[in-house]
Structure 1
Amino acid sequence: MATEHIPERAAGDGPDTGPGPGRGTLLLMSVAAGLSVAGNYFAQPLLDVIGRDLHLPAATAALVVTVAQVGYGLGLLLLVPLGDLLERRRLAVTLTAATALFLTVTASAPNAALLLTGTALTGLTSVAAQVVVPFAATLAPPAERGRTVGAVMTGLLLGILLARTAAGLLAELGGWRTVYWVNAALMLLMAVLLRLRLPALRTTVGLRYPALLRSTVALFGQEPVLRWRGALGALTFAGFSVLWTALAFLMSGPSYGWQESAIGLLGLVGAAGSLSASAAGRLADRGLAHRITGAAAFLLLGSWGLLALGGAGGGWSPAALLAGVIVLDLAAQAVHVSNQHLVYAVRPDARNRLNSAYMTSYFAGGAVGSALTSAVWGLAGWSGVCALGAGLALVVAGLWVADRMRRRASGGKGTAAATADVPASSLTS
C-alpha cells in the first residue's frame, strides 16, 4: 500500500496547517483504534468458558476484566503522554505491535498467571488508540478537526461495542483462544499499515519523562477547559458503564430470559448510537460544541426514562429498551467528541498530555459507574440502576448549565469561552 505524501511535521510548530489525512489514512486510523481497544472487552462474554477451560474459580476468571482495566488505566497515565515527547508514528506503531505480542500471550496461556499477565500487558499497550486520536487531530486543519476526531472515535467506539459480539461468534467457531489469535494477527497488520501510511510527526517539547508526567497532572490546574470537560466526560462515561454493566443482568433475568449469544448482539444496537460521533464532530467544527454538549446532556436524561420503561415488563418493553440504548449511546458519544474537540484546541503542543489527563478522568468515571452498578443492582434491581443513571445524567446537565453561566459571567474571556461556540476555522490552535 503506497504511503500518502503528507510531509513530516513538528507537533509544536504549526501542526494543523497541512491538508490533513486522506480518507484511506483516516479509515486506517479508525480501524486501528477500534481493534486496539477491542482486546480489553473480548473476555466479558467469555469468562465462564475461559474459567472452565483453565479450571479457574469464578472469582479468578473475573479478574481478567479487572486487570485489563488496571492495565489500560496505567497506560493512560504512563504511556499516552509520551506522544508529546517521542516521534508519534513510531510510538503508535510500537504500541500496536506490542499489543499484538501480548494478545498471543493471552491466546496461548496455559494457566491463570499467564492469562492475567497477557491481559494486563494488552490493556497497558492498547492505549495506542489514545495516541492515534490526538495524532489524527494534529494532522487535521482546525476547520476539520471535529470531523477527523469524530471519524476515529467512531472506529474506537465500534471496537468497544462490537468486541463482545465478535468474541461470541469467534468463540463458537474455534474456542475462546481463537478470539485472541485473530485479534493479534489483525493488530500486527495494523502496525505494518500504520508504519506505511502515517507521516512522521516530530515533537519539540523539551521535557524529560518525569517532568512530562508532572506536567500532565499540572494541566488540570492550568486549564479550566480540561477541568470542566474532564468532569463532564467522567460523569457521562459513568452513566454509559452503568447501562452496559446492568444490561446483561436484566436481559438474562426473568423479564427477558435471553441467552448469552443474544445478549452479545446488543452491541450491534449500541453501535448505531456510536455513529453519532462523526456527526457531532462535524457540528463541533461549525462552532456548536458547547450546544452539542447541552443537547446531549438532556438526551442522556431522557434515555433513562425509556430504559426504565424497557425493564418494566410487557410487550412494549423491548422497543423502549432498545430505543433507550440507542439514545444513550448517541448522547454519550456526542458529549465525548465535543469534549475532545475543545480539549485538543487548548494547547496543540500538549495534545497527548491533555488526552492522557482527560481520558484518565473519563476512564475513572467508567470504573466508578461499574462499581456503583453492582451495589445498586443488588439493592434495588433495574429501577435502582435507572435512578442511578438518571441522577448522573442530571448532574451532567447541571454542570453544563453551570459552565454556560460561568462563561457568560466571564464576558467571553478565557480559554473555555474562546473555544466553545466559535467555528473551528477561526481558532488559532
Structure 2
Amino acid sequence: MTTATRRRLLLAAICAVAVSTIYAAQPVLARIGDDLGLPEADLGWIVTAGQLGYLIGLVLLVPLGDMFDRRLLLVGHLSLAAGGVLLASVADRLWLLLSALTLVGLLAVVVQTAVSYATDLSSPTERGHTLGIVTSGVILGILGSRVLAGGLAALWGWRSVYLMLAVLLLALAYLALRLLPTDLHSERATYGQVLLRLGRLFREGLFLSRGLIAFFLFASFGTLWSGLALPLAAEPWNLNTAQIGLFGVAGLAGALGAARAGRRADSGRADIVTGAALVLLAVSWAATGQVAWSLWMVVVGVVALDFAVQAVHVSNQHLLTTAHPGRTSSAIGGYMIFYSLGSALGATATTAMYSTYGWAGSSVLGGAFALCALAVWAVGRRVVTDDRRSAAV
C-alpha cells in the first residue's frame, strides 16, 4: 500500500468517525429518553444540539484550515471531540447532554478540514479520486453509525456508543499525528480576512450554483433517511429497528459505488457527472415510493439515491477546490453550510408531509427536491455557456 493510499484511508476513517458523533444519537433516542426520564417532546433537542454545533463550526472553525497546519488542527479537534463524547457518555441531566453534544457537533467539522487537507495533499490529476475515497468515509459514518449504534446499545446500553467513539477518536488523533505530514499549504492571513473571504464566496456564480445544488441534493437525502423508517415500521411490513437499520447497508453499497465518480471528475467530466446523477436521483424516488407493496423496489431506490448523492457531492467539491486553490477549507466549509441547511429542511419536511399524505407525499417531496437541484444545474450550465459566448465576441 502506497503512502498516498494510507493517507487517504486514514482521512476517510477520520471523516467516518467524526460524522458518526452527530448521527449516533438517532437510533438510540428512545433509550436515552428512558434512561434520563425525558418526555418525547424533548428528544428532538438531542439531535438538534449536534446539528446546531456543526453549523456554527462550519463558519467559525473550518476556515482555520486556511491559516494553520491542518494536521495539528485534526489532532486537536479529534482530541477535544473525544472529551465531548466522554462527557455525553456520563451525562445524567438533559442540559449536560445537550451541552456535550453541541460541543461534539462543533468539533465534528473536522470532517471538512480532513477533506480540504486531502485535496491539497493530492496532485491535480488525483484530486477527484481522493475526494471519492475520503468523502465515502462521510457517507459510511452517516449510514453505518445508525446500524452500529443500535447494535452497541442493544448489548451494553446507549452510553457504550459514546465510549466507543471516544476510543476511536483518540486513536485517530494519534495516527494523524504519526502518519500525516506537516501542512505546507496553509495561507498566511488573519482570522478576520479568512472570514471575509468566506463571505465573498457567496457572491460567486460557481460557488452559489454548486451550493444550491447541494442544498436541494441533501434535502432529498434527508427526506429519505429521516422518513423511511416510518412506512417500514407501519403496515404491512411492521419491521423492527434492527431490520430497518439494514436498509442503511443498501445505502452504503450505493454510496461506496459512487467513489469512482472522482475519476470522472479528474478527467474533466465533473459537470456531466452532476447532471446524470441528478437525473438518477429524481428517478430513484419512483422506486422508493413503492414501499406499500415492494421492499425490493425500496432497496433499488435507496442504492440509486445514495449513489447519485455521493457522485454529485464529490463532483461539486472537486470543482470548488479546483477553483479555489489555497482556500479549500473556506470553500468546503461554506459549501457544507448549504448541505447542513438542506439536510435540516429534508428531515423536517418529510415528517410533516408523511403525517398528512403518507409516504407517497414524502416521495413526491424528495423527487421535487431532486428536480430543483437538476434545474439549478441546468441554469448554471446555461449561464456559463452564455458567459463563454460573450467573452468570445
Normalising by structure 2, we get a TM-score of: 0.96
Secondary structure of 1:33's aligned partner: helix
Q: Would you say the 8 A contact 2:69–2:186 is kept in 1? A: no
Q: Partner residue of 1:128?
A: 110
Instruction: Give the CA deviation at 1:157.
Output: 0.9
Secondary structure of 2:27's aligned partner: helix
Distance 2:43 2:374 in 1: 38
2:227 counterpart of 1:250: no
Distance 1:178 1:101 in 2: 15
Distance 2:287 2:332 in 1: 33
Secondary structure of 1:40's aligned partner: helix
Instruction: Give the CA deviation at 1:61.
Output: 2.3
Q: Partner residue of 2:364?
A: 387
The number of residue pairs the alignment matches comes to: 391
Q: Partner residue of 1:402?
A: 379
Question: How do residues 230-241 of structure 1 correspond to structure 2 at under 5 angstroms?
Answer: 230-241=211-222
**1:204–1:193 CA distance, 2 compared to 1 (3 A):** closer
Distance 1:287 1:218 in 2: 26
Instruction: Give the CA deviation at 1:85.
Output: 1.0
Question: How do residues 334-373 of structure 1 correspond to structure 2 at under 5 angstroms?
Answer: 334-373=311-350
Higher helix share: 2
Residue 355 of structure 1 aligns with an amino acid whose one-letter code is I
2:28 counterpart of 1:46: yes
Q: Would you say the 8 A contact 1:21–1:140 is kept in 2? A: no
Q: Would you say the 8 A contact 1:276–1:334 is kept in 2? A: no
Q: Would you say the 8 A contact 2:72–2:177 is kept in 1? A: yes
2:289 counterpart of 1:308: yes
2:147 counterpart of 1:165: yes
Distance 2:52 2:186 in 1: 31
Instruction: Give the CA deviation at 1:393.
Output: 1.1
Q: Would you say the 8 A contact 1:21–1:139 is kept in 2? A: no
**1:413–1:282 CA distance, 2 compared to 1 (3 A):** farther
Instruction: Provide, for residues 278-301 of structure 1, a one-character-per-residue CA deviation record: whole Å limited to 9, x for no partner.
Output: 211011111110010010011011
Distance 1:249 1:286 in 2: 41
Q: Partner residue of 1:119?
A: 101
Secondary structure of 1:201's aligned partner: coil
Out of 255, 260, 265, the residue aligned to residue 274 of structure 1 is: 255
Out of 26, 47, 51, the residue aligned to residue 65 of structure 1 is: 47
Q: Would you say the 8 A contact 2:144–2:252 is kept in 1? A: yes
Q: Partner residue of 2:16?
A: 34
Out of 91, 94, 109, the residue aligned to residue 73 of structure 2 is: 91
Secondary structure of 2:326's aligned partner: helix
Distance 2:372 2:254 in 1: 22
Secondary structure of 1:255's aligned partner: coil
Q: Would you say the 8 A contact 1:21–1:136 is kept in 2? A: no
Residue 312 of structure 1 aligns with an amino acid whose one-letter code is A
Out of 118, 127, 136, the residue aligned to residue 145 of structure 1 is: 127
Instruction: Give the CA deviation at 1:24.
Output: 1.2
Instruction: Give the CA deviation at 1:269.
Output: 1.1
The worse-fitting range, judged by mean Cα deviation, of 54-63 and 197-206 is: 197-206
Instruction: Give the CA deviation at 1:268.
Output: 0.9
Secondary structure of 1:196's aligned partner: helix
Q: Partner residue of 1:14?
A: none
The worse-fitting range, judged by mean Cα deviation, of 186-195 and 374-383 is: 374-383
Instruction: Provide, for residues 17-71 of structure 1, a one-character-per-residue CA deviation record: whole Å limited to 9, x for no partner.
Output: xxx9511111111111100000111111111111111111112222110101101
Instruction: Give the CA deviation at 1:413.
Output: 8.0
Distance 2:243 2:40 in 1: 22
The worse-fitting range, judged by mean Cα deviation, of 211-220 and 34-43 is: 211-220
Question: How do residues 19-30 of structure 1 correspond to structure 2 at under 5 angstroms?
Answer: 22-30=4-12
Percent of residue pairs bearing the same amino acid type: 38
Normalising by structure 1, we get a TM-score of: 0.89
Instruction: Give the CA deviation at 1:156.
Output: 1.4
Distance 1:190 1:277 in 2: 25
Residue 321 of structure 1 aligns with an amino acid whose one-letter code is V
Residue 301 of structure 1 aligns with an amino acid whose one-letter code is A
Q: Would you say the 8 A contact 1:87–1:201 is kept in 2? A: yes
Residue 201 of structure 1 aligns with an amino acid whose one-letter code is D
Residue 296 of structure 2 aligns with an amino acid whose one-letter code is A
The worse-fitting range, judged by mean Cα deviation, of 370-379 and 90-99 is: 370-379
Instruction: Provide, for residues 56-101 of structure 1, a one-character-per-residue CA deviation record: whole Å limited to 9, x for no partner.
Output: 1112222110101101111111100000011111111111111111
RMSD over aligned Cα atoms: 1.5
Stretches of structure 2 lacking an aligned partner (at least 5 in a row)? none
Q: Would you say the 8 A contact 1:77–1:357 is kept in 2? A: yes
**1:197–1:252 CA distance, 2 compared to 1 (3 A):** same
Distance 1:368 1:43 in 2: 19
2:276 counterpart of 1:295: yes
